[in-house]
Amino acid sequence: MSPSNDRFDLVVLGAGSGGLAAAKRAAAHGARVAIVEGDRVGGTCVIRGCVPKKLLVYGAAWRELLADAPSYGWIPQADPPLRCDPAVLLEQVRGEVDRLNGLHIGFLAKAGVELVPGWGRFLDPHRIAVQQGDQPPRLLEAERLLIAVGGRPSRPAIPGSELAWVSDDIFRLNTLPEAMVVVGGGFIACEFAGILHGLGVAVQQLVRGPRILRGFDSEAALTVQEAMAARGIALRCGERPTAIEGDPGALRLHTDSGAVLEAGGVLLATGRRPFLEGLNLEAAGVVVEGGRIPVDGDQTTNVPHIHAVGDVTDRINLTPVAIDEGRAYADSTFGQRPRRVDHDLVPCAVFSQPELATVGLSEEAAIERFGRDGITVHRARFRPMQLALPKRGPAVLLKLVVAAADGRVLGCHMVGDHAAEIIQMAAIAVGMGATKADFDRTMALHPSVAEEFVTMAG
C-alpha cells in the first residue's frame, strides 16, 4: 500500500484545459486531488495552441492595419518606415505564455489540488508511477483516475519529415525564414499560413484536397480561400508532399505532381493525434481504438473508475469542449450533480485571415439531413465599412441555413473580421431554437456587420 499522503480520491493525468477544469471542480466538491504533468501547466491551448497562436494572429494583422492607415489620414512619419521584427513578437508571446503558466500553477494551489511534476504511467488500474528526471518514481494511488493528456502534432510518413517543423516548433523560433511551405488544409495550416504571410514570409500552402477547410461549409471555406490567395498566399490544391530534403534553412519539398518547392522552412500542419505514448494503458486494462480512448456519455472508459476527457478521446478537439467535459465529470462524480456534455451544437472558429466562424449545420450537412427542398439559404456579401476608404477586399460573408418546414435556423456562418465574437452570440439563439422570423424581428444595431444577420431578405 502506498504511503497515506500519496493516496487520493482522484488522480488526473495531464494539466491541460480538461484536466485543470476537472481537478479544480472535483477539489471544490471536497475531493482530494492530484494532477500529474511532465510539461508546463496549461496544456496545448495555453502553452502551444489557442493563446500564443491568437497573439501571433493579432501581430500579423498589423500589416494590413498599417497599410490602411493613410486612407484614414494617418501618415507614417518613421524614417525608415515601420517594419516587422518577428523576433520581438515571438519573444513577447513566450513571455505571456510563461505568465499564464505561473497563473495556472497558482490557481491549482488555491484550489487545493496537488501538482505532481513528471510523466505518469499506469502500474495497475489504481496506481500511477510518476517519473521526473532521474529521481525515483513517485507512486500515486487513487479511487478514480482521469486521463486528460491531450494530443500532439502528427507528421506524414514521408522521407525527411524530421527536417520540417510542426506547429509546436513555431512558437520556439527566434527568427522566421524568408519563405516557407505550409503542408495541410485544415484550420491550423490556414491560421499559420495567414500568420506567416502577415509577418512578411512568402508562403506556399500545399493542400491535398480540392479546397481548404474540409468539413466546414464549402461556401464559407471557399470565401476564405479566395481571400488568402488574393493576399498573396500561393495555394497549391490537389498536391501531396512526397519527400523533404536539404539542410536547415535550405529545404526542398517534393510533391506528387513532380514539383520541387524550395523554402527556408517547412511546416507540417497535417493533424494531431492523442498523446498516449508512455501511459502504459494496458496495465490498467484501458481499451484503445484507432489511436484514441473511447468513452461513453459520462466520459467513462471500459474500466468503470477510469475516465477520459478532451483530445485523447478524439471527438471534438476544442478547448471549451474539454473544459466542459472535465467539469461535467467532476460534477457528476464528486458533486452529486449528474450531467452530460451536449456535443451536438458546438460553435467553432478558424482564426485565418479573414476569420471564419460557424455554429450548427453547414449547407451541405443540412441538405444531407433534410434534402435540398427541405432547407432555404439566406446570405449577404458586401465590403465592410472598415474597408470603404482603403477600397479593398475581401468581402464579408454572412449566411443562415434555415429549415423550410418550420423556419428554424439550422446553421449560422460568417467570414470576416470579428466573426468569432459575432457567432458566439448567435450560438445562443441557434441553441434556443430560434427561427428566421425571430432573427427578422430583432432590431438591427446600425451601422454594424452583424446587423446583416437580422436584415437579410426573406
Q: Report, as residue numbers or ranges, the catalytic residues.
A: 446
Place of cell 490567395: 229
CA–CA gap between residue 47 and residue 171 (Å, rounded): 9
- The answer for residues whose C-beta is within 8 angstroms of residue 33's C-beta and 6 or more apart is 8, 9, 10, 11, 12, 23, 26, 27, 112, 113, 114
What is the grid cell recorded at 352?
485565418
Place of cell 446600425: 446
Residue 38 backbone phi and psi in degrees, to 5: -90, -10
How far, CA to CA in Å, does 118 sit from each of 134, 234, 240, 330, 336?
11, 43, 38, 23, 31
How far, CA to CA in Å, does 306 sit from each of 148, 287, 428?
11, 11, 33
CA–CA gap between residue 5 and residue 140 (Å, rounded): 9
CB half-sphere exposure, 28, CA atoms < 13 A: 15
What is the grid cell recorded at 351?
482564426
Helical segments of 232-268, H only: none
What is the grid cell recorded at 116?
505532481
CA–CA gap between residue 456 and residue 400 (Å, rounded): 9
CA–CA gap between residue 17 and residue 23 (Å, rounded): 10
CA–CA gap between residue 433 and residue 286 (Å, rounded): 39
CA–CA gap between residue 277 and residue 396 (Å, rounded): 43
